[in-house]
Amino acid sequence: MNWLHIILWRIYERWFRPNVAKDLRARGMVVGSNFNMLDGVLIDWSHCWHISIGDDVTLAPRVMILAHDASTKKYLGYTRIGKVDIGDRVFIGAGSIVMPGVNIGNDVVIGAGSIVTKDIPDNMVAVGNPARVLHPLDEYIARRKSEMDGVPIFGAEYTMEKGITGPMRDEMNEKMVDRVGYVV
């Protein structure tokens, strides 16, 4: 990414991205503090007042949160709607879909590509289509912490925000002999 892309990205992040959450709040969606919504997230604009998002929540790229299901409209004359409640300290992985009427508890990780059709209790990791609880969050974190002992760890200077260079990107790939690493 060249300097122009970085400047344009920062302008977008600073001036336009926050307005999405602000607009949704103005329409009635409840959003806590430290809400992080990445590229391509789609939140049900037409029924956003049925959606509640807690503190310290991250929605990875292309997550969809739906509060209505119009598949019934043609046959019943009504659209099915459902409240969506997302707790505190939740991470929803890239490409996941949260369906109407779902409650996601506190301290939850939803794996990338999951389709959440049922409630997910507190302190769990859930994955799949449909999403199912895989194991407790503390077990997942313990596994990842243990993994960090044997793989390279990179500081903030290895991120786009801090201006990572081409040689640094190459260095990261060379050091990740087991194909994984961690970055701040």
Domain interval for residue 183: 150-184
Q: Is residue 31 part of a domain?
A: yes
- Assess whether 131 and 158 both reside in one domain: no
- Assess whether 122 and 83 both reside in one domain: yes
- pLDDT for residue 13: 56
Total domain count, the chain: 2
- pLDDT for residue 23: 83
| Sign of the torsion formed by the C-alpha atoms of 36, 12, 159 and 98 | positive
- Assess whether 80 and 157 both reside in one domain: no
Q: Is residue 35 part of a domain?
A: yes
The one catalytic residue among 47, 50, 68, 135: 68
pTM summary value: 0.84
Q: Is residue 144 part of a domain?
A: no
Last residue of a domain, one of 110, 135, 160: 135
- Assess whether 125 and 158 both reside in one domain: no
- pLDDT for residue 22: 79
- Assess whether 89 and 168 both reside in one domain: no
- Assess whether 82 and 158 both reside in one domain: no
- Assess whether 98 and 175 both reside in one domain: no
- Assess whether 110 and 177 both reside in one domain: no
Q: Is residue 107 part of a domain?
A: yes
Question: For residue 120, which phi and psi values (nearest 5 degrees)?
Answer: -115, 120
5: annotated active-site residue: no
Q: What is the CATH number of the domain that holds 17?
A: 2.160.10.10
- Assess whether 154 and 81 both reside in one domain: no
Chain segment 43-85, per-residue pLDDT in tens:
999 999 999 999 999 999 999 999 999 999 999 999 999 999 9
- pLDDT for residue 132: 97
Examine the pLDDT at 19 and tell me if it is beyond 60.
yes
| Per-residue H/E/C for 136-170 | EHHHHHHHHHHHHCCCCEECHHHCCCCCCCHHHHH
- pLDDT for residue 178: 85
- Assess whether 112 and 161 both reside in one domain: no
Q: Is residue 29 part of a domain?
A: yes
- Assess whether 84 and 164 both reside in one domain: no
Chain segment 131-157, per-residue pLDDT in tens:
999 999 999 999 999 999 999 999 999
- Assess whether 127 and 66 both reside in one domain: yes
Q: Is residue 143 part of a domain?
A: no
Chain segment 87-143, per-residue pLDDT in tens:
999 999 999 999 999 999 999 999 999 999 999 999 999 999 999 999 999 999 999
